Structure 1
Amino acid sequence: MTRREPVSNLGLVSSKSERRAARSIVADYHDAQLADLVAHVGAAIDRYRASELDAFDVDRVLFQYSRAAKELWKFCNYLQVEVAAAMIQEQPPNDWWERGAPRER
């Protein structure tokens, strides 16, 4: 009977430099996507100042921004950083603004 080597997960663990690179990818993605979400808010405020929207319309935009930013934050922070970075590089999720849209009743 031969002695078996213990099973190790070390092959699945990335190196420190790989984790650092993955964190950088996720941080850059988060920054760019968050900037897009903030642009929606800025456009709504500009339209409010031009009397094209009322305060309730702006409030709806702010609500959608809040929901969308939370969904983006969850994607960037709940997944293992290497997994999130791989997803961003292969097929980045988009339409965070739409993900924050209120559900129709």
Structure 2
Amino acid sequence: MSAKSDRQAAREAVANYHEKQLTSLQGRVGTALERFRSGELDAFEVDQVLFQYSRAAKELWKFCNLGDPEFASDLVRERPIVDWWERGAPRQR
């Protein structure tokens, strides 16, 4: 493979990873909204989920879009998957 095709394959791998992880994060938001509609959560609890989603999605975006796509692709393939939801958790004081 050429360097250009290697880079393209890495970009595609990272894009697929990004989409899969983003879908997982969005599923948490969907679950929170369903629980709100059924009365299990209040508006503040849903807001907390949305806040954590926002932070997690930003961290995921930074990982997938800043830097070398080959490096990110290697990390995705060789290391355990990062828990992006936990990365977005507010810091405890």
TM above 0.5, one fold?
Answer: yes
Whose Rg is larger? 1
Whole-angstrom distance in 1 between the partners of 2:92 and 2:33:
24
Unaligned runs of 5+ in 2: none
- 1:74 counterpart (59, 62, 77): 62
Which runs of structure 2 are paired with 1:21-100 in the superposition (5 Å)?
A: 21-100=9-88
Greater mean deviation of Cα atoms: 47-56 or 90-99: 90-99
Q: How many residues align?
A: 92
Runs of 4+ in structure 1 over 3 Å off: none
Q: Percent identity?
A: 62
Cα distance in 1 for residues equivalent to 2:78 and 2:91: 29
Instruction: Give 1:103's aligned amino acid.
Output: R
TM-superposed deviation, 1:79:
2.3
Separation in 2, partners of 1:42, 1:66: 14
More helix as a share of residues: 2
Q: Higher relative contact order by CA 8 Å / sep ≥ 6: 1 or 2?
A: 2
